[in-house]
């Protein structure tokens, strides 16, 4: 079980942080992922740092909450991987 939870956490984080596929596939501003919206807060003349930082926090919250919910299994998997037979 701990190995499956660890794999699920890492896979969720990988999929959550995808950038290029949503950038290419989604043309509507209403359907953009938060990662694409963060990247579009920079122009040639101005960088909207407040929006970038706020979006980064919002993008991090689901991953952190999932990790905190599954932390017990993740730590157990790390501890068990160091034990010998």
pLDDT 10s digits, 19-28: 888 888 888 8
Instruction: Residue 52: give the domain boundaries.
Output: 2-81
pLDDT at position 70 is: 85
pLDDT at position 51 is: 93
Q: Provide the token pair at 43.
A: 């122009």
Q: Could you tell me the pLDDT band of residue 52, with boundaries at 50, 70 and 90?
A: very high
> Residue 84: is its pLDDT beyond 80?
no
Q: Could you tell me the pLDDT band of residue 82, with boundaries at 50, 70 and 90?
A: low
For the chain, the domain total comes to 1
CA 35, distance to chain mean position in Å, is 9
């Amino acid at each position: 079980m701990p190995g499956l939870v660890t794999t699920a956490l890492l896979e969720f984080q990988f999929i959550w942080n995808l950038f290029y596929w949503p950038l290419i596939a989604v043309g509507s501003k209403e359907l953009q992922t938060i990662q694409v919206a963060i990247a579009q807060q920079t122009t040639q003349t101005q960088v909207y740092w407040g929006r970038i930082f706020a979006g980064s926090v919002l993008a991090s919250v689901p991953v952190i909450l999932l990790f905190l919910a599954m932390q017990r299994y993740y730590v157990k998997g790390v501890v068990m991987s160091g034990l010998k037979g």
